């Protein structure tokens, strides 16, 4: 691995520091690690022209060659270094390793050059492999490729592949989260749709006007829940959907279900994960009231706490075994609790680990779920 | 009962009412109903009143009248600028700031420039501006109490600080929209009602123009009082500097920005700002009238250096007997309402920033907020006791100049210029803040030189604001690689109306 081109000023500084910060070999190691640490976050974004553009320079420093190119399987993503006219050759060079998956060395027979001053006579092309599939190539141009350079390029390409696999892992984790939200939408349907329709049916003859109102509420509720929505929504939207849900549940439970909503107007624009409160309210109604004798009350409070919004969903129902709740929050799917773990995970992903669900409950004393949401979090927009 | 007695009663009533609302404030903060609460987002009219209630401070209530009385009509630039600041806010900032989703200015800095460093620096600046702005509130309170009841000038400030602190510590951490909106109308009434009586008396006395009399002692002839830029050194520069500070400083005030979050969308933010303009325009008609009438009926206040108490004393001077004393008590109570509402709003905003950005995440939640509130109140209270020589309006002017030199460039360039970089923003804020801060310190300590140097330090905005803008642009252009990765996406989100169907994307964390 050659040394990167240096400035004389930096040389002087390095001479001054020598002896304080280790030997030349250690310096080389530090430089390598530093370049690697600069490249890793870029590559964690996946292999795009943007991430390639940003990491190519560091990769060239790492390898100490005049020019470096990154390609995907069909086109050039980034070129860094001199003699930019060879950039057009990189796509064709990439083709040569896509089949074999091995690192190869190519020379002027494979990429013609009309510029007499150009000294890039050889190129080491190494494949980038993610999950046994070649997704692109790393190409190092040089005047003459030593065996050491070939080895180095292959190793760096291997390391880049590792980071790209991590990026793939990130992406699949996001996809999993999205799939869970979709599942949550689907999860609402069977119980609730059946119960609502039955309740509405009971009004059709006795109170047709009420039945019509309820059907419209039902239509609006399902439209919101099944809408192709972004990851976040406003608290106002979420509460509106909850109100519709409660109207429908009230039609079913009648006076047995009492609802109190106390909402500070100031927090209505707060951004929250889509469908993060609805499951909590559904839990309160289902677990708190369905098995309870007499009247049950669900209280939903959204309060303004300076930079945060404090939302509590409380019922005075039969309560729950804390251990069971703990298992639900940990993601145990066998616990019959609509999406508690899912909501918790999504809140933590959006706002950080400080903002998980807090559940206070015990058998016979009701359940209180507390959600804290910051008014602003980077990257969270309705 | 004496005049002082009525005033004490009025002030006590305001204090008790404030504490009661703080203690039982939750009744207002909650909208209790069975259903369809969520459609009731805060209406622009209510929000505008709340902004007005929090914004109209001691400087507006007492300072403007005093300045007009003492220095003449050119001082009208202060109320004009404090109102027009919202015009700039409306045109350049309101809707994009709301669409950014930011709650505080540091939030905006972080989301736009994707840098923790910019966030930290802007947080420090917000705290500094809050302190600079709180200081004259406490001073004004001291002045008001001293002039009506004859106590020491420190007592009023300490009282207001105590009430604010107790309220924020025990009442809760919010400044409730409804309560602040009520404050605006209280202040308007407290000025308007006595004015109706006094205007009647003035008309009965033959409607003499304030410009037609010459006030001895201070050498103010009627002509020089009424015509701007007559006499005085460097007046053109000073005037333009005041204009620049007040027009551009409003957007950097922490308690104003926080209110915009309550608007449901960018369009509502614009409507709110428009209404704020109307409400402030209405309010600022009144204090200059006090100044003008004061020139006719209480000219001795200028000579004795108590021009700022003209609002408090004028009613009892113009109306004999209990009626005048009651009206004076009303303006005094209104003044304390002004101190309390502005100080509460600022304290909440500053304490929020201190607890979140300065203390870090080690102390969480309520404790950090309460500690932040103590710091937010005690520092400016100490400052106000140390620097008694500076006028209320002038001190507020310095806060505006400081905000205009630091946070205004960050907001304006952040919203309208996509090539702004974090390094550029930091450099601009440091240069603008350093220069304006130095000038403010020199003025507060009274060490400014004579002549041009003194004028430049007393009203720094005219040179520090352009300097800050230039630094920010220059350094940003020199560091093109530091342009935030998602700048284009952020710009789309800031400038596209919410009704437009568009994939705004979620910036990765």
CATH number at residue A218: 3.30.565.10
In a domain, B404, yes or no: no
Interchain pair A306, B504: CB under 8 A = no
Q: Summarize the confidence of residues B212-232 as an average pLDDT.
A: 65
CA geometry: angle B200, B203, B207, nearest 5 deg: 145
Q: Is the pLDDT of residue B459 over 80?
A: yes
Q: Summarize the confidence of residues B241-263 as an average pLDDT.
A: 88
Interchain pair A269, B33: CB under 8 A = no
Q: Summarize the confidence of residues B56-75 as an average pLDDT.
A: 85
Q: How confident is the model at residue A75 (pLDDT cuts 50, 70, 90)?
A: confident
A:303-332 residues touching chain B, CB 8 A cutoff: 303-307
Does residue A211 share a domain with residue A327?
yes
Name chain B contacts of A306, Cβ cutoff 8 Å: 173-174, 348, 351-352, 369
Does residue A144 share a domain with residue A218?
no
Min mean pLDDT across A237-246, A265-274, B441-450, B482-491 is at B441-450
Q: What is the pLDDT of residue B22?
A: 66
What's the pLDDT tens digit per position in B139-192? 888 888 887 777 777 888 888 898 888 887 775 545 577 778 888 998 999 999
Name chain A contacts of B40, Cβ cutoff 8 Å: 265
Residue in B closest to A298 by C-alpha: B34
Rank A271-275, B203-207, B405-409, B502-506 by mean pLDDT and report only the highest: B405-409
In a domain, A198, yes or no: no
CB B47 within 8 A of CB B259: yes
Q: What is the pLDDT of residue B276?
A: 94
Q: How confident is the model at residue B303 (pLDDT cuts 50, 70, 90)?
A: confident
Does residue A252 share a domain with residue A124?
no
Q: What is the pLDDT of residue B436?
A: 93
What's the pLDDT tens digit per position in B126-151? 999 999 889 888 888 888 888 777 77
Q: What is the pLDDT of residue A368?
A: 92
- Nearest CB partner across the interface for A236, out of B104, B107, B264: B264
CB B308 within 8 A of CB B217: no
CB A156 within 8 A of CB A134: no
Interchain pair A243, B177: CB under 8 A = no
In a domain, A194, yes or no: no
Q: Summarize the confidence of residues B346-363 as an average pLDDT.
A: 78
Q: Is A354 on the interface with B (CB under 8 A)?
A: yes
In a domain, A379, yes or no: no
The two tokens of residue A290 are 């369905």
Domain residues for A12?
A: 8-170
- Sign for the pseudo-dihedral over CA of B349, B352, B353, B358: positive
Distance from CA of B53 to the nearest CA of A (A): 16
String of DSSP letters for B344-369: HHHHHHHHHHIIIIISTTSS-HHHHH
Residue B132's nearest CA partner among B372, B430, B392 is: B392
Rank A40-44, A154-158, A377-381, B475-479 by mean pLDDT and report only the highest: B475-479
Strand stretches in A287-332, DSSP E: 296-305, 308-315
Pairing of strands A358-361, A367-374: antiparallel
In a domain, A186, yes or no: no
Name chain A contacts of B38, Cβ cutoff 8 Å: 235-237, 239-240, 243, 263, 268
Interchain pair A380, B107: CB under 8 A = no
Q: Is the pLDDT of residue B32 over 70?
A: no
Residue in A closest to B177 by C-alpha: A266
Does residue A353 share a domain with residue A215?
yes
- Sign for the pseudo-dihedral over CA of A114, A116, A120, A123: positive
Q: Which residue did the predictor score with more confidence, A27 or B473? A: B473
Classify residue A6 as exposed, middle or buried by CB count within 10 Å of its CB (0-12, 13-18, 19+).
exposed
The two tokens of residue B166 are 């107790």
Q: What is the pLDDT of residue A6?
A: 46
Domain count, chain A: 2
Q: Summarize the confidence of residues B34-59 as an average pLDDT.
A: 77
Q: Is A228 on the interface with B (CB under 8 A)?
A: no
Min mean pLDDT across A172-186, A187-201, B210-224 is at B210-224
Domain residues for B273?
A: 3-25+41-389
Q: Is the pLDDT of residue B34 over 50?
A: no
Q: What is the pLDDT of residue B407?
A: 93
| End-of-domain residue from the set A148, A170, A192 | A170
Min mean pLDDT across A320-324, B242-246, B388-392 is at B388-392
Q: What are phi and psi of A162, to 5 degrees?
A: -60, -45
Interchain pair A237, B40: CB under 8 A = no
Taking the mean position of all CA atoms in its chain, how far away is CA A260?
35
Q: Is A240 on the interface with B (CB under 8 A)?
A: yes
CB B287 within 8 A of CB B65: yes
Q: Is the pLDDT of residue A229 over 70?
A: no
Domain count, chain B: 1
Name chain B contacts of A235, Cβ cutoff 8 Å: 38
- Nearest CB partner across the interface for B32, out of A231, A262, A303: A262
Name chain B contacts of A376, Cβ cutoff 8 Å: 101-104, 107, 111
Pairing of strands A257-263, A296-305: parallel
Q: Is A239 on the interface with B (CB under 8 A)?
A: yes
Rank A236-245, B9-18, B421-430 by mean pLDDT and report only the highest: B421-430
Interchain pair B104, A376: CB under 8 A = yes
Interchain pair A380, B101: CB under 8 A = yes
Residue A339's nearest CA partner among A286, A278, A285 is: A278
Q: Is A381 on the interface with B (CB under 8 A)?
A: yes
In a domain, B9, yes or no: yes
Q: What is the pLDDT of residue A187?
A: 58
Interchain pair A268, B264: CB under 8 A = yes
Q: What is the pLDDT of residue B174?
A: 54
Distance from CA of A66 to the nearest CA of B (A): 22
Residue in A closest to B37 by C-alpha: A263
Q: What is the pLDDT of residue B126?
A: 93
Q: Is the pLDDT of residue B426 over 90?
A: yes
Name chain A contacts of B352, Cβ cutoff 8 Å: 306-307
Query: CATH number, domain at A129?
Result: 3.30.450.40
Interchain pair A231, B506: CB under 8 A = yes
Does residue A368 share a domain with residue A288?
yes
ipTM above 0.90, yes or no: no
Taking the mean position of all CA atoms in its chain, how far away is CA A347?
12
Per-chain mean pLDDT for chain A = 81
In a domain, B362, yes or no: yes
Residue in B closest to A257 by C-alpha: B34
Distance CA B422, CA B279 (A): 37
Interchain pair A264, B30: CB under 8 A = yes
Q: Which residue did the predictor score with more confidence, A243 or B174? A: A243
Distance CA A279, CA A268 (A): 19
Q: Is the pLDDT of residue B300 over 90?
A: no
Q: What is the pLDDT of residue B409?
A: 95
Residue A79 belongs to what H/E stretch? strand A76-81
Distance from CA of A216 to the nearest CA of B (A): 15
Percent of chain B with pLDDT over 70: 88
Q: What is the pLDDT of residue A337?
A: 63
Q: Which residue did the predictor score with more confidence, B356 or B461? A: B461
Chain position carrying tokens 């008590």:
B329
Walk across the sheet containing A104-107 and list its strands.
A76-81, A67-72, A133-142, A122-130, A104-107
Distance from CA of A166 to the nearest CA of B (A): 16
- Nearest CB partner across the interface for A240, out of B39, B102, B507: B39
Q: Which residue did the predictor score with more confidence, B361 or B160? A: B160
Name chain B contacts of A263, Cβ cutoff 8 Å: 30-31, 37-38
Classify residue A180 as exposed, middle or buried by CB count within 10 Å of its CB (0-12, 13-18, 19+).
middle
Interchain pair A378, B110: CB under 8 A = yes
Q: Is the pLDDT of residue A2 over 50?
A: no
In a domain, B150, yes or no: yes
Q: How many CB pairs under 8 A join A and B?
A: 115
Q: Is the pLDDT of residue B283 over 90?
A: yes
In a domain, A267, yes or no: yes
Residue B464's nearest CA partner among B248, B313, B275 is: B248
Name chain B contacts of A268, Cβ cutoff 8 Å: 38, 41-42, 264
Does residue A39 share a domain with residue A161?
yes
Interchain pair A265, B177: CB under 8 A = yes
Q: How confident is the model at residue A59 (pLDDT cuts 50, 70, 90)?
A: confident
Name chain B contacts of A231, Cβ cutoff 8 Å: 506
Does residue A221 share a domain with residue A164?
no
Query: CATH number, domain at B73?
Result: 1.20.1730.10
Interchain pair A259, B34: CB under 8 A = yes
Name chain A contacts of B34, Cβ cutoff 8 Å: 259-261
Q: Is the pLDDT of residue B272 over 90?
A: yes
Per-chain mean pLDDT for chain B = 83
In a domain, B410, yes or no: no
Q: Is the pLDDT of residue A327 over 90?
A: no
Name chain A contacts of B102, Cβ cutoff 8 Å: 376
Give the number of other Cβ atoms within 10 Å of residue B304's Cβ.
9
Does residue A226 share a domain with residue A114?
no
Q: How confident is the model at residue A93 (pLDDT cuts 50, 70, 90)?
A: confident
Q: How confident is the model at residue B504 (pLDDT cuts 50, 70, 90)?
A: low
Give the number of other Cβ atoms within 10 Å of residue B414's Cβ.
29
In a domain, A182, yes or no: no
Name chain A contacts of B177, Cβ cutoff 8 Å: 265-266
The two tokens of residue B246 are 């007040």
In a domain, A73, yes or no: yes
Interchain pair B33, A261: CB under 8 A = yes
Q: What is the pLDDT of residue B28?
A: 45
Non-local CB neighbours of A72 within 8 Å, separated by 6+ positions: A47, A94, A135, A136
DSSP annotation of A272 reads E
Mutation for A interface: B28, B31, B34, B38, most A CBs within 10 A: B38
- Nearest CB partner across the interface for A306, out of B38, B369, B508: B369
Q: 3-class DSSP state for residue A128?
A: strand
What's the pLDDT tens digit per position in B427-438? 999 999 999 999
Q: How confident is the model at residue B38 (pLDDT cuts 50, 70, 90)?
A: very low
Q: What is the pLDDT of residue A189?
A: 53
Interchain pair A305, B504: CB under 8 A = no
Residue in A closest to B100 by C-alpha: A381
Q: What is the pLDDT of residue B416?
A: 94
Rank B20-24, B130-134, B368-372 by mean pLDDT and report only the highest: B130-134
Interchain pair A305, B173: CB under 8 A = yes
Interchain pair B356, A307: CB under 8 A = yes
Q: What is the pLDDT of residue B440?
A: 83
DSSP annotation of A355 reads G
Q: Is the pLDDT of residue A23 over 80?
A: no
Percent of chain A with pLDDT over 70: 89
Residue in A closest to B503 by C-alpha: A230
Q: What is the pLDDT of residue B3?
A: 63
- Nearest CB partner across the interface for B34, out of A237, A261, A301: A261
In a domain, A381, yes or no: no
């Amino acid at each position: 691995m050659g040394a990167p081109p240096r400035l004389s000023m930096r040389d002087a500084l390095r001479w001054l520091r020598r002896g304080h910060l280790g030997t030349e070999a250690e310096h080389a190691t530090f430089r390598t690690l530093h370049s690697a640490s600069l490249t890793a976050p870029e590559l964690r974004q996946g292999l795009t022209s943007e991430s390639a553009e940003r990491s190519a320079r560091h990769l060239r420093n790492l390898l100490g060659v005049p020019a470096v190119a990154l390609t995907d399987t069909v086109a050039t993503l980034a070129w860094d270094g001199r003699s930019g006219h060879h950039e057009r050759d990189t796509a064709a060079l990439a083709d040569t390793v896509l089949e074999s998956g091995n690192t190869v060395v190519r020379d002027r027979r494979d990429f013609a050059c009309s510029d007499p001053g150009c000294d890039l006579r050889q190129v080491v092309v190494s494949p980038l492999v993610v999950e046994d599939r070649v997704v692109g190539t790393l190409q190092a141009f040089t005047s003459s490729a030593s065996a050491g350079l070939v080895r180095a390029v292959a190793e760096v390409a291997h390391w880049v592949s590792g980071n790209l696999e991590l990026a793939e892992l990130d992406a699949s984790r996001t996809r999993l989260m999205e799939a869970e939200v979709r599942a949550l939408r689907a999860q609402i349907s069977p119980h609730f749709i059946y119960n609502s329709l039955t309740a509405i049916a009971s009004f059709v003859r006795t109170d047709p006007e009420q039945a019509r109102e309820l059907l419209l509420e039902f239509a609006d509720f399902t439209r919101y829940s099944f809408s192709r929505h972004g990851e976040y929504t406003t608290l106002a939207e979420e509460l509106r959907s909850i109100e519709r849900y409660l109207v429908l549940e009230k039609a079913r439970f009648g006076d047995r279900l009492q609802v109190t909503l106390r909402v500070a107007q100031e927090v209505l624009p707060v951004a929250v994960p889509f469908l993060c409160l609805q499951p909590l309210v559904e839990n309160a109604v289902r677990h708190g009231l369905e098995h309870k004798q007499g009247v049950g009350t669900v209280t939903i409070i959204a309060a303004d706490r300076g930079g945060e919004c404090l939302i509590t969903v409380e019922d005075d129902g039969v309560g729950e075994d804390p251990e069971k709740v703990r298992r639900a929050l940990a993601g145990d799917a066998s616990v019959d609790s609509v999406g508690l773990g899912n909501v918790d995970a999504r809140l933590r992903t959006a706002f950080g680990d400080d903002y998980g669900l807090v559940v206070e409950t015990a058998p016979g004393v009701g359940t209180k779920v507390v959600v804290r949401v910051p008014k602003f979090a980077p990257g969270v927009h309705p | 009962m004496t005049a002082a007695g009525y005033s004490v009663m009025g002030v006590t009533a305001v204090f008790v009412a404030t504490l009661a609302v703080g203690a039982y404030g939750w009744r207002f903060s909650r909208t209790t109903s069975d259903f369809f609460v969520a459609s009731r987002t805060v209406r622009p009219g209510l929000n505008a009143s709340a902004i007005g209630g929090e914004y109209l401070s001691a400087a507006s209530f007492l300072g403007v009248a005093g300045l007009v009385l003492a220095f003449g009509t050119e001082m009208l630039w202060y109320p004009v600028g404090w109102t027009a600041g919202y015009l700039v806010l409306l045109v350049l900032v309101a809707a994009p700031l709301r669409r950014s989703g930011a709650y505080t200015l540091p939030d905006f800095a972080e989301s736009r420039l994707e840098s923790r460093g910019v966030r930290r620096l802007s947080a420090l600046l917000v705290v500094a501006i809050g302190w600079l702005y709180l200081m004259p509130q406490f001073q004004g309170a001291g002045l008001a109490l001293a002039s009506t009841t004859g106590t020491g000038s420190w007592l009023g400030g300490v009282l207001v600080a105590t009430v604010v602190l107790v309220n924020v510590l025990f009442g809760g951490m919010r400044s409730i929209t409804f309560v602040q909106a009520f404050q605006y109308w209280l202040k308007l009434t407290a000025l308007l009602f006595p004015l109706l009586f006094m205007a009647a008396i003035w008309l009965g006395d033959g409607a003499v123009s304030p410009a037609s009399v010459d006030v001895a002692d201070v050498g103010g002839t009627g002509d020089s009082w009424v015509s701007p830029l007559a006499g005085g050194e460097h007046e053109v520069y000073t005037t333009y500097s005041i204009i620049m500070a007040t027009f551009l400083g409003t957007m950097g005030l922490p308690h104003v920005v926080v209110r915009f979050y309550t608007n449901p969308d960018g369009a509502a933010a614009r409507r709110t700002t428009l209404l704020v303009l109307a409400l402030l325009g209405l309010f600022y008609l009144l204090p200059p009238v006090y100044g003008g009438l004061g020139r006719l009926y209480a000219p001795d206040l200028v000579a004795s250096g108590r021009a700022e108490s003209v609002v408090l004393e004028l009613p009892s001077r113009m109306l004999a007997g209990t009626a005048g004393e009651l009206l004076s008590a009303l303006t005094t109570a209104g003044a304390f309402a002004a101190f309390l509402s502005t100080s509460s709003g600022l304290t909440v905003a500053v304490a929020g920033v201190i607890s979140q950005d300065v203390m870090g995440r080690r102390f969480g939640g309520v404790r950090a907020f309460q500690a932040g509130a103590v710091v937010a109140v005690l520092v400016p209270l100490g400052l106000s006791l140390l620097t008694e020589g500076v006028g209320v309006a002038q001190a507020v002017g310095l806060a505006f100049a400081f905000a205009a030199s630091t946070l205004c460039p960050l907001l304006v360039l952040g919203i309208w210029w996509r090539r702004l970089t974090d390094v550029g923003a930091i450099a601009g804020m440091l240069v603008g803040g350093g220069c304006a801060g130095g000038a403010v310190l020199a003025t507060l300590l009274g060490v400014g030189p004579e002549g041009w140097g003194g004028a430049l330090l007393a009203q720094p905005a005219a040179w520090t604001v352009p300097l800050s803008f230039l630094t920010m642009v220059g350094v940003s252009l020199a560091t093109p690689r530091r342009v935030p990765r998602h700048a284009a996406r952020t710009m789309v989100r800031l400038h596209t109306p919410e009704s437009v169907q568009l994939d705004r994307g979620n910036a990765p964390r």
